[in-house]
Structure formats: structure tokens, C-alpha cells
Amino acid sequence: MKRIAPLFLTVCVFAACSQTKQVAVEPAPAYQPAPQSTPVKLPTVVPPKLAEVQDAVKRVFKDAAVVDANYNPNFLAGDFNGDSSQDIAVIVRPAPDKLDKMNEEFPAWLLRDPRATRRVPLRVEKDDVLLAVIHGYGANDWRDPEATQTFLLKNVVGSDLRVQTGKDFFNAHSGKKLPRPQGDLIGETLRGTQGYIYYAAASYSWYDPNNFKEQPQQPRMVHQPRTVRAHAQAQPKAPVIEMITAEELKAKVAGNQPVTIIDVRSSAGFAASSTTIKGSIHFKVRKLKSRLFFPPLKDLPKDREIVTYCACPKDESSIAAAQVLQANGGFKRVKVLQGGWHEWLKAGGPVEPKTKG
């Protein structure tokens, strides 16, 4: 009996060691927690300041419109056209004695009435309270000097203006017949009705939850309606605008081919740049029609090749200028530089110090 205890102890120790070794060599489980991925940093959206908003209004309207101080808030920031750039919506009114500038023939903005059931000629009246939506462009969004694409909206300024995302809008109105907005909406109370201003089919519309009828989809357009509006009655069918690439234009310039290049960048964009495409002339789009009666445009042969360019996101200003040259100037060989000024710089096209036409 005295010799059994040590043997029993030895067996126990051996078993314990064996179990310990088994645990040590046991294979790792097939599942291993994945390392945490680095969180994506979203760009910081800096809240707008009144001075910045006033600068943006002046960039587009010059001295023709001012921020209306009678509303609080009187500006909102959001992505109102769904292009991932921050836009600014500002309540404005015509400046005293500047109504003629608000109604000039070729304004730098698109005047619209989102609540109108059909397209009719519009004018800005002296007592109008308007909502100007300035679309963002480039790295600085609506603060960018090139951010000039603007919708000026009549009859939609109410109270309690606020920004609502598309997701929140759909969740709040589940089960109802809804529009298909692109980007954020602007909610407000207008004439006793809770409704929304939204962007779709290249324009802004009004959504009344109580009596909404889905509108047929229209062709997608950006700044082209400005020219279509000006010439639709005289020309039911707008002339086709051809495009030319930066490389093609470079070859023409290098070969000294007879081509007239017209720079129609916005005043702010032109002022912010120290150079222009070599040999080009700068004109404001809204003054281009009147400049057709003076040199050098007056003296150009009608079969002269002309190329227009701007710095707009969709070549809007250069397309508008090309349409004016074709429709009012009678020029037969007008093209638009695809991608405009930014594409020309990327392609390494020749530039020279700017001279204003």
C-alpha cells in the first residue's frame, strides 16, 4: 500500500503534463478576428459665414442683388443638385435701382418658377423675394471663384427653411407618391403648406405632399436653357454644337491654322487667372451678342473656325457662347473645347498673359 501512492502520483503528473502539452500544441481556431480597417475620413464641411455668402452673391449678381436680411435663416448649405459638391441657397432681393440688370437679355443665372405648371416668360419684379441656389464647383465647392452656375427661383421663399437629406425625406413620407430628387431638399412652410424644393430633371421643382402629380422626365440640361430661352422662338431647332479636344486644338495652334479662340470664362474666374489660351480673346457671354457688331468679330468671315472655352463643370458657358455665334453671328464652323480651360492646362496647351477683349 505504501508503494501505490507514488505510482499514482506519477501517473497523475504524467497525465497533467500530457494534457498541458496538448493544450499548447492545439491548432489555432480557423476563425481569426480581422484587423480593424482604417476609418475613411470624410471631407470637413465648414459652415458658411455671412461674409462668404455675400461674396458668392456678388460673384454671380455683381451689384444687382443683395442678401435679404429680413429672413432667419437667410441661407442654407447642402448638396442640392446631387453632384457631391456643397451648394449654397440664399434668399436675395433686387438691389435698389438695379432691376434692369436682373432682367438683362443674357443673365448669368437661370430664372425659374418651381411652382409653375408650364414654362412661361419670367421677369424679376422690384418687390420679389428670390431664392438663389449657387452650385458648388471644384475643391472649394460654392466658395470657388468658378462656382457661378446659379438657379434664381421665384415664388418659393417661405418660412422655417431647413435642409433635409433624400433619405430622411423618403422615410418621412413613406407610402406616398414621391418625386425623385437628386441630392438634398429644402423643406419649408409656404402659404400654410409644408413642402419641399428639390432638384430633378435639370431644374428645381416644388413638392406639395397633399397634391403631387409626377411630372414626365425632361431631357437633362444644365446651363443650356439660358440660350434656349433666349432663342427658342426665333429658332425652334437649336444648331448642333461640335466639340473639339484639347489635343486637336493644340495641333491647330501648333500648325498656325486659322482658328479664332474665344475665352468666355466668368469675370471672377478670368480675374483669378493670370493667363489665357495663346491667341484667345476674352468676352463675357452676356455681352457676346452685342460684340458681334464690332471688331474683331464683325470682320471675321462666316466660314472662319471658332473655338469657345470656359471653366464650367459641363462647358455650359462655352456652349451658350457657341450658340450665340451660330444663331446671331451666322458663323458656320463653331466648336466648343471639351473640358475647357482645365483640360487645356492638363494637356499642356500653350498659354500667354491675358488680355481682355
Residues contacting 299, CB < 8 A, separation 6+: none
Assess if residue 38 is contained within a domain: no
Of the two residues 90 and 315, the one the predictor is more confident about is: 90
Name which of 84-88, 171-175, 323-327 the model is least confident about. Answer: 171-175
Of the three residues 220, 238, 257, the one that is the final residue of a domain is 220
CA 320 centroid distance within chain: 17
Q: Is the peptide bond preceding residue 73 cis, with omega within 30 degrees of 0?
A: yes
Assess if residue 246 is contained within a domain: yes
Give the pTM: 0.55
Mean pLDDT computed over 138-161:
90
Of the three residues 220, 240, 273, the one that is the final residue of a domain is 220
Q: How far apart are CA 235 and CA 188, in angstroms?
A: 39
Instruction: Say if residue 334's pLDDT is above 50.
Output: yes
Residues contacting 343, CB < 8 A, separation 6+: 245, 246, 337
Same domain, 187 and 99: yes
User: What is residue 256's predicted lDDT score, i.e. its pLDDT?
Assistant: 86
Looking at residue 239, which CATH number applies to its domain? 3.40.250.10
Whose cell is 407610402? That residue is 175
Name which of 54-58, 153-157, 214-218, 302-306 the model is least confident about. Answer: 214-218
Structural domains in the chain (count): 2
β-bridge pairing 185-190 and 193-200: antiparallel
Considering only CA atoms, which of 333, 275, 336, 347 is closest in space to residue 310?
336
Assess if residue 29 is contained within a domain: no
User: What is residue 43's predicted lDDT score, i.e. its pLDDT?
Assistant: 54
Query: pLDDT grade, residue 190 (50/70/90)?
Result: very high
Same domain, 57 and 195: yes
**Segment 251-261, tens digit of pLDDT:** 888 888 899 99
CB-based burial of residue 255 (10 Å sphere; 0-12 exposed, 13-18 middle, 19+ buried)? exposed
Instruction: Say if residue 191's pLDDT is above 50.
Output: yes
Assess if residue 207 is contained within a domain: yes
In a 3-state reduction of DSSP, which class is residue 200?
A: strand
Which neighbouring-strand residues pair with 77? 88
Same domain, 192 and 258: no
Q: How far apart are CA 145 and CA 141, in angstroms?
A: 9
Same domain, 58 and 194: yes
204 within 8 A of 153, measured Cβ to Cβ:
yes
Q: How far apart are CA 280 and CA 314, in angstroms?
A: 20
Instruction: Say if residue 105's pLDDT is above 90.
Output: no
Same domain, 241 and 330: yes
Mean pLDDT computed over 55-71:
95
Same domain, 195 and 240: no
Same domain, 138 and 271: no
C-alpha cell at 271: 480675374
190 within 8 A of 91, measured Cβ to Cβ:
no
C-alpha cell at 152: 434664381
User: What is residue 108's predicted lDDT score, i.e. its pLDDT?
Assistant: 80
Query: pLDDT grade, residue 198 (50/70/90)?
Result: very high
C-alpha cell at 153: 427661383
Considering only CA atoms, which of 144, 134, 75 is closest in space to residue 110?
134
Same domain, 138 and 252: no
User: What is residue 338's predicted lDDT score, i.e. its pLDDT?
Assistant: 94
- Domain, as residue range, for 294: 229-353
Whose cell is 499514482? That residue is 8
Same domain, 83 and 158: yes
User: What is residue 336's predicted lDDT score, i.e. its pLDDT?
Assistant: 96
Name which of 24-28, 249-253, 258-262, 287-291 the model is least confident about. Answer: 24-28
Assess if residue 21 is contained within a domain: no
User: What is residue 210's predicted lDDT score, i.e. its pLDDT?
Assistant: 80
Which neighbouring-strand residues pair with 164? 185
Same domain, 67 and 201: yes
Whose cell is 500544441? That residue is 25
Assess if residue 8 is contained within a domain: no
Assess if residue 28 is contained within a domain: no
Amino acid residing at 336 = V
Instruction: Say if residue 237's pLDDT is above 90.
Output: no
Residues contacting 89, CB < 8 A, separation 6+: 75, 76, 77, 78, 80, 131, 132, 133, 134, 161, 186
Instruction: Say if residue 167's pLDDT is above 80.
Output: yes
Same domain, 71 and 208: yes
Instruction: Say if residue 293's pLDDT is above 80.
Output: yes
Q: Which helix (H) or strand (E) holds 58?
A: helix 50-61
CA 197 centroid distance within chain: 17
Q: How far apart are CA 88 and CA 75, in angstroms?
A: 7
Q: How far apart are CA 276 and CA 347, in angstroms?
A: 14
Query: pLDDT grade, residue 60 (50/70/90)?
Result: very high
Percentage of residues of the chain with pLDDT beyond 70: 79
Of the three residues 187, 220, 253, the one that is the final residue of a domain is 220
Assess if residue 17 is contained within a domain: no
Same domain, 191 and 247: no
Q: How far apart are CA 304 and CA 296, in angstroms?
A: 12
